[in-house]
Amino acid sequence: MSGTLVGVGVGPGDPELLTVKGLRALTEADEVFVPVGDTGEVGRAEAVVRAHLGEEPGRLRRLLFALSDDEKARNASWERAARTVAAALSEGKRCAFATIGDPNVYSTFTYLARTVRGLLPGVEVETVPGIMAMQDLASRSGTVLTLGDEKLVLLPFTAGKEVLEDALRGFETVVCYKGGGRLREVLDAAERAGRMEGAVYGARLGMEGEEVVRAGEMVGREGTYLATVIFKDGGTL
């Protein structure tokens, strides 16, 4: 009998945005894995976990995910992480994996769980939802995401500039992830669609160096990769 793998969404960064269920999942796990790498994502999940569990060196285990343009190197890194988790699972342990945001929304947890399943077919996998960056940015900026019959699109800018432009034309609310590194293109698209007025930019939400500003103030500035931009005309709470 292998153990259970639980993907725990720990929210965008503020340790208090962890759910009671997520806290219990972390507390009850035999081992708590946190991803470590060299992206902005690094350290966020670990920081939330440490804020609640303290050091507990025996239970907290760091999984290195190499960020590399070399696909082979990336895959090898995934394989290694999955093997580490699978080894603990095959001892019947309950293993939690902490991931920022929600474990079913653009999460590294999905890749990890699928790779682990390849090694341990039939292993039980659960997830605990976590607050997403778009929700935290809406809250911190006083933006109402949707009301009445309004529709929302959530997209990563990596899907393409045209995808963002189409969404800005057809939807009351558009949330753009992963566009911080190409912020000028994101804001250009917004300008052309006449959607700058109701746009807000957020980065490092709930952490030191938090930025929550009108997107217009970001014109000419650099963003960070994990930034969130919400487009919502007249969306002030």
CB of 202 to a second copy, least distance (A): 12
Shortest CB 104 distance to a second copy, Å: 4
Nearest to a second copy of 171, 225 (CB atom) = 171
Q: Which of 50, 53, 68, 106 binds a second copy (CB under 8 A)?
A: 106
Q: From residue 170, how far is each of 79, 154, 173, 195 by CA, in Å?
A: 41, 13, 9, 11
Shortest separation between residue 18's beta carbon and a second copy, angstroms: 6
Residue number, 62 or 233, with CB nearest to a second copy: 233
Sheet of 124-128, strand order: 60-64, 31-36, 94-99, 4-9, 124-128
Question: In whole angstroms, how close is the CB of 141 to a second copy at the nearest point?
Answer: 10
Q: How far apart are CA 43 and CA 34, in angstroms?
A: 8
* Bridge-based pairing state of the strands 228-232 and 173-177: antiparallel
For a second copy, which residue of 3, 23, 116, 190 counts as binding (CB under 8 A)? 23
Residue 153 binds a second copy, judged by CB under 8 A: yes
**Shortest distance (Å) from residue 17 CB to a second copy:** 5
DSSP secondary structure of 157-188: GGG-HHHHHHHHHH-SEEEEES-GGGHHHHHH
Q: CA-CA distance, 126 to 207, in Å (whole number)?
A: 28
> Is residue 15 involved in binding a second copy (CB under 8 A)?
yes
Whose Cβ is closer to a second copy: residue 159's or residue 219's? 159
Is 1 among the residues that bind a second copy (CB under 8 A)? no
DSSP structural state of residue 89: H
Name the residue among 205, 218, 174 with its Cα closest to residue 17.
Answer: 205
The residues binding a second copy (CB under 8 A) are: 11, 14-21, 23-24, 102-107, 110, 113-114, 125-132, 135-136, 138-139, 142-156, 158-160, 163, 167, 171, 237
